[in-house]
Structure 1
Amino acid sequence: MSEIRIASRYAKSLLDLTVEKNTLEATKNDIDLFLKVCEENRDFVLLLKNPIVQSGKKSAIIKSIFEGKVSDLTLAFFAIIARKGREAFLPEIAGSFIAQYNEFKGIIKAEVTTTFSLTPELKKEVEKVVKEISGKNVDLTEIVDKDIIGGFIIKVGDRQIDDTVSSKLNVLRREMTQNQYIKQI
């Protein structure tokens, strides 16, 4: 079975269970913590994916790291995944859970890139525009990139709005390199 299908099925099971138990927000926070640990500690992810280390040992390590920091339900879920020998897929399962959580809550991820940090008023305005475009609540990520010279880039799903000075200069450069003039004799 493919990695995506495995992650999706386990994430869906966890989402359904947490909705049923009314612990969705707590579990989402737990999964955010797990993803943060995975992001900050490459060795942890490599351990999870290592086929030489036994599942029981991985389960004990996961328990020692997250016990007292996540809910009992999340810890039990991690234990079940390890017992099934699927602990290598935990980062993908967590990512799939967040995607399904966002879909369930009607949240869309958006990314805005500018040359400066957005003020709270400007950030609210961008969120408002994205909400009008998508019809969903917005989880906005802000990126500062001095290379775009000026303007902004907004990415929402697979759509991108590029209104930067550097992109306009590139268009102008392409137009100038095409010789559209005919020499008159």
Structure 2
Amino acid sequence: MELVVIAKPYANAIFELAQQDKSYLQWKMVLDAGAQLLIDEQMCKFIAFPNVLKQDKLSVIKELLKSILARELSGHEVTFIGILLNNNRINALPSIATLFESLINTTNDAKMFNVISAYQLSELEKKQIVRDLTNQYNKVVNIDAVIDKDLVGGVIIKDGDKVIDMSIKARVNELELRLSKTH
């Protein structure tokens, strides 16, 4: 069966749960982190290994997610991962994450931004950007962080056609333009 078909009821259930307490961002982060874990070949082998109890797999995944997210998982989040493991659906996690994000983006409460930086943003930096954008737009904000080695520092935030350029490169270009006008 195609993973999207398997993933849809799970994504819908998590979306309904997230709607209750507006925990869209927390769930998105858990789902994205879980999807990232499944990219790792060793993790996939570990999950597929039949001699490891599902409870032990859950413990390992829980600890890895705790490390990635820099926080404890909620009871609902642990239960969800456990359900996926028990139903042999953990491999659908990337599809669940994608569908969940689509559901978030269809709500009037959500806005998606692309954030480009010179380096990997820390979770704290991402949270600060999300918090600032949430306050500015008064909507649930999701960010897709991308690294651009050509940037010296700072960030560029894109919202469709709108660009907020807070990069050092933009500041240097602006200074260069000002200097060229004075001569």
Q: Normalised by the size of structure 1, how large is the TM-score?
A: 0.51
- Give the stretch that moved more between structures: 29-38 or 109-118: 109-118
Report what 1:25 is aligned to: 25
Q: Which amino acid aligns with 2:28?
A: K
Q: CA deviation at 1:84?
A: 2.0
Percent identity between matched residues is 18
2:92 aligned with 1:86, yes or no? no
Question: Partner letter of residue 30 of structure 1?
Answer: V
TM norm structure 2: 0.51
Matched, 1:116 2:137: no
- Preserved CA contact (<8 Å) 2:58 2:81: yes
The answer on 1:74 being equivalent to 2:73 is: no
Counting matched residue pairs gives 128
Please report how far the alpha carbon of residue 108 of structure 1 lies from its aligned counterpart in structure 2 after TM superposition: 6.4
Answer whether contact 1:66 1:75 (CA < 8 A) is retained: no
Deviation at 1:17, TM superposition (A): 0.8
Q: Which secondary structure does the structure 2 equivalent of 1:116 belong to? A: coil
Shift of 1:37: 3.4
SS of the aligned residue for 1:117 comes to: coil
| 2:104 match | 101
Cα gap change, 1:110/1:63 in structure 2, threshold over 3 Å: closer, same or farther? closer
Distance 1:5 1:30 in 2: 21
Whole-angstrom CA distance in 1 between matches of 2:115 and 2:64: 31
Once residues 113 and 88 of structure 1 are traced to their aligned partners in structure 2, the CA distance between those partners, rounded to angstroms, is 27
1:177 is matched with none
| Residues 31 and 94 in structure 2, CA contact (< 8 A), matched pair in contact too | no
Whether contact under 8 Å (1:102, 1:108) holds in the other structure is no
Residue 113 and residue 30 in structure 1: after superposition, are their counterparts in 2 closer, same or farther (change >3 A)? closer
Measured after TM superposition, the shift of residue 75 of structure 1 is 1.0
CA 1:19 to 1:113, structure 2 compared with 1: closer, same or farther past 3 Å? closer
1:52 is matched with 50
C-alpha change, 1:92 and 1:45, in structure 2 (3 Å) is farther
Q: Distance in 1 between matches of 2:26 and 2:147?
A: 30
Identify unmatched segments of 5+ residues in structure 2: 117-145, 164-183
Residue number among 127, 131, 137 corresponding to 2:161 in the alignment: 131
Shift of 1:38: 3.6
Q: Within 2, Cα distance between the matches of 1:79 and 1:115?
A: 38
Contact in 1 for aligned 2:35/2:93 (Cα 8 Å): no
Q: Deviation above 6 Å: which 4+ runs of structure 1?
A: 110-115
Unpaired runs of at least 5, structure 1: 133-137, 139-185
Distance 1:115 1:83 in 2: 42
For residues 135-169 of structure 1, the C-alpha deviation after alignment (integer angstroms, 9 at most, x for no partner) is xxx8xxxxxxxxxxxxxxxxxxxxxxxxxxxxxxx
Letter in 1 for 2:57: K
- Equivalent positions of 1:28-39 (< 5 A) are 28-39=28-39
Give the secondary structure class of the aligned counterpart of 2:11: helix
Partner amino acid for 1:15?
F
